[in-house]
Amino acid sequence: MAAHEYQPPPKPPLLGRAVKRFNREKALWLICGVALVQLFIFSFIPIGGIVIAFMNFTPGRSLLDSPWVGLQHFRNFLALPDFMRILRNTLVISGLNLTIGFIAPIIFALLLNELFNKPFKRIVQTISYLPHFVSWVVVASIMTTLLGHAGVINEVLMRFSLIERPIAFLNSRELFWPIMITANVWKGVGWSAIIYLGAIAGVDQELYQAGAVDGLGRFGRVWHITMPSILPIIILLFILGIGNILSTGFEYQLLLGTPLTRERYEVVDTFVWRYGIGLGRFSFAAAAGLMRSIIGFILVLTANWVSKKAADISII
C-alpha cells in the first residue's frame, strides 16, 4: 500500500481570517478608522464643490440654478494684468521654502544627532519644537517687536551709533522675502526635523562602528553613512513638497504685508482671499484653487517619475 503524501490542513475561509485579523488589530483599526472618516468628510466630500469653478455660483442659490460658464473663470484668472507678478511671487517664495526651508531641518537634525549630552539634546529639541505651535499672529507680533520702526533691532543699532535713523525693515520690498523665509524656517525647522531624527535613529549602529574602523571621522560618518541612509526619506518628502509649490499660505503676508511691500507679498493665496472670497466671487476663487491643485498634482507626478528613474525611489 503506497504511503499517502502529506496534505496540509485546509486554510480557514477568507472571511474567518479577516475577522481574526480584525480582532487582533482592532485598536489600530479604530485609530485609523477615525482618521479615515475625518479624511473622507473634510477632503473627499468637498471635492464635489469643484463644480462651482465652472459656474457663476451665488451663495444661497442652488447649483442647478447657477449658469454654466465653462472655462471663463480660468481665462479671467490667466488674463489678469497682475498674473505674472502674482505667479513670480508665488514661485519665488515657494522656491525659497523648498530649498532653504527644506534643507534647514535636515542640517538641524544632523547637528542635533551629533550631540552626546542627552539632557542638553532634549532641551534643544523641546525648544526647537515650540515655535511650530505658535500662531502666525504671535509670530507677526514678535517680528513687529523686533523689526518695527521702534523695534528692538533699530534701538540696538541706534544705541551703538551704527545707524542714524531707524530702518523700515517691514516696509522694504528688498527685505520682505528674506524676513519671511527667516520666520518660516524659525517656525518650522524643529518640527520638520522630527521625521529626520526618527530616520537617523533607525540607522544601524554597526555601520558607524565599521566606518570608525575604516578611519572615517564624524563628518565622514555623517556624509557616507547617515546621509545615504536617510536619502529615501529626503527624496520622498521633497516630492511631496513639490506638490505645494503654488501653496504659500497667506497668514504671514496678510499680517505683515503693507502697501509698500504688496509687489513682493501678493501670491495666489492672498489674491484668491482678497478678490475671490473677500468679494464673494466664489466661482473665481474655486477656479484659481483648482488650477493650482492641478499644477501641483502634475508636478508631483513628474518629480515622482524622475525620482523613480534616477534613484529608484518613488511614492507610488
- Amino acid identity of 33? G
Range of the domain at 142: 81-311
Alpha carbon 188 to chain centroid, angstroms: 9
- In a domain, residue 268? The reply is yes
Q: What is the pTM of this model?
A: 0.78
Q: Say how far apart CA 161 and CA 177 lie, in whole Å.
A: 27
Is the residue at 173 inside a domain?
yes
Q: What's the gap between Cα 125 and its chain centre?
A: 20
157's grid cell: 543699532
Q: Identify whether 59 is part of a domain.
A: no
- State the CB neighbour count (10 A cutoff) for residue 201: 9
The amino acid that residue 32 corresponds to is C
CATH number of the domain to which 132 belongs: 1.10.3720.10
Q: Does the residue 28 lie in any domain? A: no
Residue 51 located in a structural domain:
no
The radius of gyration of the chain from alpha carbons, rounded to an integer in Å, stands at 26
Q: Which residues of the chain have pLDDT under 50?
A: 1
Q: Which residue has the cell 515650540?
A: 130
27 lies in a domain? Answer: no
Provide the pLDDT for residue 236. Answer: 85
Give the pLDDT confidence score for residue 11 in this predicted structure: 61
Q: Is residue 131 part of a domain?
A: yes
Please tell me the total count of domains within the chain.
1
Asked whether residue 191 is assigned to any structural domain, the reply reads yes
Q: Residue 1 has what pLDDT?
A: 47
User: In whole angstroms, what is the distance from residue 302 CA to residue 64 CA?
Assistant: 37
- The Cα–Cα gap between 253 and 269 comes to 10
Instruction: Give tens-digit pLDDT for 195-213.
Output: 898 888 888 888 888 888 8
- Percent of the chain exceeding pLDDT 90 equals 3
